[in-house]
Amino acid sequence: MNIRNYIGDKSFYKKLLIVTLPLIVQQLITTSVQLVDNIMVGKLGESAIGSVAVINQFYFVVILVTFGVLSGAGIYSAQYYGSGDHEKLRETFRFKLIAAGVVGVISFAVFTVFGESLIRLFTDSPETIKGGLEYLSIIRYAIFPWVLTVAISNTFRETGVTKPLLYISLVAIATNTGLNFVLIFGMFGFPALGITGAAIATLIARIIEFLLSLLLLKRRGQLFSTKIRHLFVIAPKVLSGILLMAIPLTLNEGLWSLGQTTFLHAYSTRGDSALAAMTMTNAISQIVFVTFGALATGVAVLVGNTLGRNALDEARENATEN
């Protein structure tokens, strides 16, 4: 076995760097929106950070399930883009919008109906439960702009557009950080809203991120953008292929995120101090997770594009080099 077969040439790594570097930075910034909430709310005390941590863990489950559902379509998006089949590329984008909407509605309903019960699984502290409900009552609305933003941004990545997504994420994190500072601590004449202020700041940041993504879609998404009246126009063959790919990916991401949630639950039984400590270490581990996830996404885009061009040998080499 020749080890050089697993290393690859410089041209592959150059293309991979071009695709993944802005993607890694953008993903890190996106993840940092939740991290900023944890850090700044942490100044309000262990109970406050515990409240936000529990809700953000639920949000983390939604994030991974969304990635799992959309990744199934993303594999085909990269292939159809590589082959120049723009109509099927639009169909995969339509599936993403529908799937994102379904995930958003289900998540919102679960948080609305079972929010308090879910929080009580992690803590019996009245103060932490109250703070969690305050945060959840607002942050649940951020699900809708976020899932739709992911559907748009993922498709741009799969078609090789990454830098504008980085700029959008920079605006989102700057907005969230600035509004957190103002609304949590009551700066510049604003009232100190504490946990509620953190939730409002995140919601506004997610809305701005979504609106900027829509603007990008209008300006540079002509290859895959679709009209609302065509939203449910998806060929049965394309739909079945996406579902066969998306179901195992969704189960994988969902089960893994539930495992992480169970892990956090075990620590939460030791009290708010343990929950706060675990929250901060989780933030670091998620940064590592996101970095390698972005790298894998970049390779998937390159492999999908080469498959779409029917360059099977090159696709095998790219997959091996991953």
Q: Count Cβ atoms below 10 Å from residue 149 Cβ, excluding itself.
A: 24
Ordered by start, the domain boundaries in the chain are: 46-321
How far apart are alpha carbons 11 and 36 in whole angstroms?
37
Chain-wide mean pLDDT for the chain? 81
Provide the token pair at 91.
């169909």
Can you give the pLDDT at residue 149?
Answer: 92
- DSSP letter at 221 equals -
Provide the token pair at 144.
């809708």
How far apart are alpha carbons 207 and 200 in whole angstroms?
11
Q: Residue 121 is inside which H or E element, if any? A: none
Can you give the pLDDT at residue 308?
Answer: 57
Can you give the pLDDT at residue 246?
Answer: 86
Can you give the pLDDT at residue 1?
Answer: 44
Which residues of the chain carry a pLDDT beneath 70?
A: 1-16, 18-20, 22-23, 25-38, 271-272, 274-277, 279-284, 286-287, 289-290, 293-322
Can you give the pLDDT at residue 2?
Answer: 47
Can you give the pLDDT at residue 104?
Answer: 94
**Which phi-psi region, left, alpha or beta, contains residue 8 (left: φ > 0; alpha: ψ -120 to 50)?**
left
Report yes or no: 115 and 136 within 8 Å, Cβ to Cβ.
yes
